[in-house]
Amino acid sequence: MNARVLVLVSLGGSLWAQVSFDRLLHPEREPQNWLTYSGSNKGQRHTTLAQITPANVKNLELQWIWQARSTEKFETTA
């Protein structure tokens, strides 16, 4: 009995977590959620969110940092 409940709950959770085609097709409806690489199919890497402005940018603070464990070549895109 417990195993059946666990299977049903895990199946329901995985179905709920799926991203629909409509959400991928219309990313402008939820600009706070980048569901694809670069934020949309256009690949512009630009957000329409306006929380950071020229007036408040000086108040930004470092929140986290990631350090690579290797000193070898490290590449990224910008």
The per-residue pLDDT for range 12-70, each reduced to its tens digit, is 555 666 889 999 999 889 888 888 888 888 888 877 778 889 999 999 999 999 888 87
How is residue 68 written in tokens? 């690579």
Determine the pLDDT at residue 70.
Answer: 78
Determine the pLDDT at residue 38.
Answer: 84
Residues constituting the chain = 78
| Category of 45 on φ-ψ map: left (φ > 0), alpha (ψ -120 to 50) or beta | left
Determine the pLDDT at residue 55.
Answer: 94
Determine the pLDDT at residue 73.
Answer: 80
| Integer Cα distance of 22 and 75 in angstroms | 33
* Integer angstrom CA distances of residue 14 from 10, 11, 18, 57: 6, 5, 7, 39
Strand extents, DSSP E, 1-78: none
